[in-house]
Copies of this chain bind each other. A is one copy, B any other.
Amino acid sequence: MDDSAAGGSEPDELAPLAIGIDIGGTKVAGGLVDDRGLITRRLRRDTPHRSTSPAVVEDVIVGVVGELMSGLAMERVTAIGIGAAGFVAADRATVAFAPHLSWRDEPLRDRLAARLTKPVFIDNDANAAAWAEWRFGAARGETHLVMITLGTGIGGGLLWNGEVIRGKHGIAGEFGHMQVVPEGHRCECGNRGCWEQYASGNALVREARALVAARSPIAMDMLARIDGDAANLTGPLITEAAREGDMMAVELLSEIGTWLGVGMANLAAALDPGMFVVGGGVSAAGELLLDPARTAFARTLTGRGYRPEAGIVAASLGNDAGLIGAADLARASVDP
């Protein structure tokens, strides 16, 4: 258990509350969220590995909900929202596929509703993050929003005039699995050259590990920082090193940012949004990531100079956007 990020005041006696759970490739983050999008209680767990059974993930969710509700009257929590890093089908009840998790046609909503005896709402994690940024964060007032969440992989959400664009089968927004390099790096989804193999936390760590393993001259400071053990390399550690001026870490974040910008230029060609909001764990790198992204975007956008260009901003809710959005979508589903 990791409650180090726990915080927030005890919930106001009267405020209606919803629980939001954000299930990513490595972390499960849960929170008790009020109707202004404020998190009043939170906790985190590791995501069970995708080789484990779906029931294990379900148990983790039920455990998180139980802890978040401890000491609260049952009726204080109106609904439970799940933002999942997977393909949530059009029925909004089933997770059809999750590249980083064990779900395959998993009837998640009904299984959880039976165990939690509360209305359960499920959505793709990046759709939830987009909703949160639009309701409470960096994208308030934006009519044409593309949300990009950089974590283990890339999540994507489209919010057009306040409505999530879900596509015919519910699974639009899987931007991370657009091919950007023919015959490129193998992706967990089964393909090669997916965007998230070039712009994500996984990509960042993979590249850093390769340099460290090769004892590259530019990896010497990093080697000292991790006591020579590549297993100690993580995305947050690389970001921290970059902030402190580590040359290799700065360069790797810049590469990730450049690929981020190229992919956003592709999405701008296809979708013409007014704004890109970049969230997820890797977005904690801030301008070390976004500055190279903006440069690459401006250089790659088709028709540049003859068209208005979308803004590229950091998620103002940071890595909390997914859980806040999941909670607020659940709240809105029972009390629109």
For the complex, is A186 an interface residue (Cβ under 8 Å from B)? no
Specify the main secondary structure of chain A where it touches its partner: loop
Digit string of A160-200 for contact with B (CB within 8 Å is 1, else 0)?
A: 10000111111111110111111000010111001000000
Q: Which residues of chain B are within 8 angstroms of A310 by Cβ–Cβ distance?
A: 168
CB distance from A204 to the nearest CB of B (A): 19
Given known A-B contacts A179-B266, A265-B179, A266-B178, A272 and B171 have beta carbons under 8 A apart: yes
Could you tell me if B267 and A97 are in contact, using CB atoms closer than 8 angstroms?
no
The smallest C-beta distance from A274 to any residue of chain B, in angstroms, reads 4
A205 to chain B minimum Cβ distance, whole angstroms, is 21
In the complex, whether A211 has a CB less than 8 A from a CB of chain B is no
A143 CB contacts on chain B under 8 angstroms = 168
Copies in the complex: 2
Identify which of B170, B182, B189, B272 contacts A272 (C-beta below 8 A): B170
Known: A306-B97, A306-B104. A160 touches B165 (CB 8 A): yes
**A56 interface hit (Cβ, 8 Å):** no
Residues in B whose Cβ lies below 8 Å from that of A69: none
A174: nearest residue on chain B (CB-CB)? Answer: B269
- Whether A201 is near chain B, meaning CB under 8 Å from some CB there, is no
Q: Does A245 contact B (CB under 8 A)?
A: no
A87 at the interface (CB under 8 A from B): yes
CB neighbours (8 Å) of A160 from chain B are: 165
Most buried by B among A97, A167, A304: A167
The reply to whether the CB of A273 lies closer than 8 angstroms to some CB of chain B is: yes
Q: How far is the CA of A167 from the CA of B268 in the complex (A)?
A: 9
- Contact B266–A303 (Cβ < 8 Å): no
Answer yes or no: A295 CB below 8 A from chain B CBs. no
A68 close to B (CB within 8 Å): no
Q: Name the B residues within 8 Å of A166 (CB-CB).
A: 272
Does A270 reach chain B (CB closer than 8 Å)? yes
If A191-B300, A300-B191, A302-B189 touch, whether A273 touches B307 (CB-CB below 8 Å) is: no
Q: Are the C-beta atoms of A307 and B97 separated by less than 8 Å? A: yes
A109 at interface (Cβ–Cβ under 8 A)? Answer: no
When the two chains form their complex, are residues B171 and A307 in contact, meaning their CB atoms are under 8 A apart? yes
Tell me which residues across on chain B come within 8 A of A272, comparing CB atoms.
Answer: 166-174
Which residues of B are found within 8 Å of A187, using beta-carbon distances? Answer: 302
CB-based contact A177/B271 at 8 Å: no
Q: Are B178 and A270 in contact (CB under 8 A)?
A: yes
Judging by beta carbons under 8 Å apart, are A177 and B303 in contact?
yes
Q: What chain B residues lie within 8 Å of A174 (beta carbons)?
A: 269-270, 272, 302-303
CB of A50 to closest CB in B, whole Å: 13
Which residues of chain A in 202-220 are interfacial with respect to chain B, using CB atoms and an 8 Å cutoff?
none
Q: Which residues of B contact A167 (CB under 8 A)?
A: 144, 271-273
Give A317 Cβ to nearest chain B Cβ, in Å.
22
Chain B contacts of A175 at CB under 8 A?
A: 269-270
Q: Are B303 and A99 in contact (CB under 8 A)?
A: yes
User: Which residues of A are in contact with B by a Cβ distance under 8 Å?
Assistant: 87, 96-97, 99, 104-105, 143-144, 156, 160, 165-175, 177-182, 187, 189-191, 194, 262, 265-267, 269-274, 300, 302-304, 306-308, 310
Instruction: Please list the 7 inter-chain residue pairs (A to B) with the smallest Cβ-Cβ separation, ordered nearest first.
Output: A167-B272, A177-B302, A97-B306, A168-B274, A144-B168, A172-B272, A178-B266
